[in-house]
Amino acid sequence: MTGLGQALAGYLELRRGLGFKLERHAELLGEFIGWLEDRGIATVTTADALAWVTLPERASPGWLQYRMQAVRGFAAYLATVDPAAQVPPAGLLPGGPRRAVPYLYSDADIAALFAQAGQLKTPLRQETFKTLIGLMAVTGLRGGEAIALDDEDFDPGRGLLLVRHAKLGRHRLLPLHPTTVSALQSYRQLRDQVFPRPRSQALLVSTAGTRLIRRRTGQTFAALAGRAGNCRPRPHDLRHSFAVATLLDWCRDGGDVAARMPLLSAYLGHCDPRHTYWYLTGTPELLAEAARRLSRSPLPGDPR
């Protein structure tokens, strides 16, 4: 392992020890270090960082910012052990971080995704992606959390799902609707028929019986969503959809939405309700419900 490779290993070990997973950052930094080593470069400079970050053609400002964020974190660590290392200054790239406009999946969209998943090559692969998509849609799980689930994390008797691989190493228990429990049990039965001797501890498995790989899973999801006619297909948008649908249900049942927000935050695995508001989008349905609530609420000084 080269000096840069050793430094990257130390950086990832340190950050992961603090609870960060950094899976995507690790992948990007591996590519960055490979690019440097191919050119005989032994440290990080601002010029080289900028050259690598801006390599993708027609990349969005947000994606370039993300690549630079990964490099800056590593460069700051490297500078503690290599005086020649330079940390690219903040604001080097134009534009700031922007919230990607999520695609909110309707029931019809989910049904279309299921239909496309039903066209995959094997029954197990079909059911794996139907189960993955359905589980993310009804729980708001992050994609990485769903893939990381072990079989023992699902407790059908109590209708609970244990999420042990959340951000910052937090665990949480998710109560499941009986229909979700039934769907997971059906998937388990098919999986166990195909693999009577498990090859992995994973709840959701590939056609080889191994745990799903996040990048390949994302590619398959994008292909399914594209064929289903969804725009900007991202698995993470299922999380946005769950949050918005939950809030809409609460508005319609007349409950105290503000008082319930900590419940949604806990279910999504957020430590602060402020993080949950990032997932909420002002859809026409939500705005209509808000207008109806306002029309029923007396204004200050109103004698009603």
Give CA–CA dist 116/223, Å, rounded. 9
25 as an active site residue: the answer is: no
Instruction: Name the residue among 290, 124, 88, 109 with its Cα closest to residue 206.
Output: 124
236 as an active site residue: the answer is: yes
pLDDT at position 249, please?
Answer: 82
Q: Which of 279, 292, 293, 304 is catalytic?
A: 279
Q: Tens of pLDDT along the chain (304 residues)?
A: 568 999 999 999 888 876 677 888 999 999 999 999 999 999 999 999 999 999 998 888 888 988 999 999 999 999 998 999 999 998 888 765 555 677 888 899 999 999 999 999 999 999 999 999 999 999 999 998 999 999 999 999 999 999 987 766 678 999 999 999 999 999 999 999 999 999 999 999 999 999 999 889 999 999 999 898 876 678 888 988 888 888 888 777 777 777 888 888 888 887 766 777 666 665 556 556 555 655 555 444 544 4
171 as an active site residue: the answer is: no
Structure tokens at 286: 């939500």
Q: Which of 164, 167, 172, 188 is catalytic?
A: 167
pLDDT at position 269, please?
Answer: 84
Give CA–CA dist 53/68, Å, rounded. 6
167 as an active site residue: the answer is: yes
Give CA–CA dist 228/138, Å, rounded. 19
